[in-house]
């Protein structure tokens, strides 16, 4: 499936702008080839994963975490070896990125 969306997205509730791409899913920019796009995708991906732009959630018994995918990227780390973690995903119908 091919999808097109803006790289800079305006959050519909806060009006704040955020980068809306991922190294895994963003193939290229409109009107650019894959080869032309890759250096920019890599650069932007490095920017959004800089430590000062990240939050490291530490799981404990009874923890609850949720985030807004319109302005947050999620990167799961298996850091709970030997422990059971029960997760439920909830997806709310969203809006079209703008």
What backbone phi and psi angles, to 5 degrees, belong to 41?
A: -60, -45
- Tell me: the pLDDT tens digits for 2-17? 888 889 989 988 999 9
pLDDT at 16: 92
Sketch the domain layout of the chain as residue ranges: 1-98
pLDDT at 44: 92
- Distance, in Å, from the CA atom of 47 to the CA atom of 49, rounded to the nearest integer, reads 6
- Tell me: the pLDDT tens digits for 34-86? 999 999 999 999 988 888 988 888 878 888 888 888 888 777 777 777 877 77
41: exposed, middle or buried (Cβ count in 10 Å: 0-12, 13-18, 19+): buried
- Distance, in Å, from the CA atom of 64 to the CA atom of 57, rounded to the nearest integer, reads 10
46, two tokens: 């490095």
pLDDT at 32: 96
């Amino acid at each position: 499936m091919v999808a097109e969306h803006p790289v800079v997205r305006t959050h519909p509730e806060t009006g704040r702008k955020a980068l809306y791409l991922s190294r895994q899913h963003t193939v290229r920019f409109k009107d650019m080839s894959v080869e032309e796009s890759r250096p920019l995708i890599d650069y932007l991906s490095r920017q959004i994963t800089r430590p000062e732009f990240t939050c490291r959630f530490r799981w404990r018994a009874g923890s609850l975490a949720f985030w807004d995918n319109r302005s947050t990227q999620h990167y799961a780390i298996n850091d709970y070896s030997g422990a059971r973690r029960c997760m439920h995903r909830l997806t709310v119908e969203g809006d079209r990125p703008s």
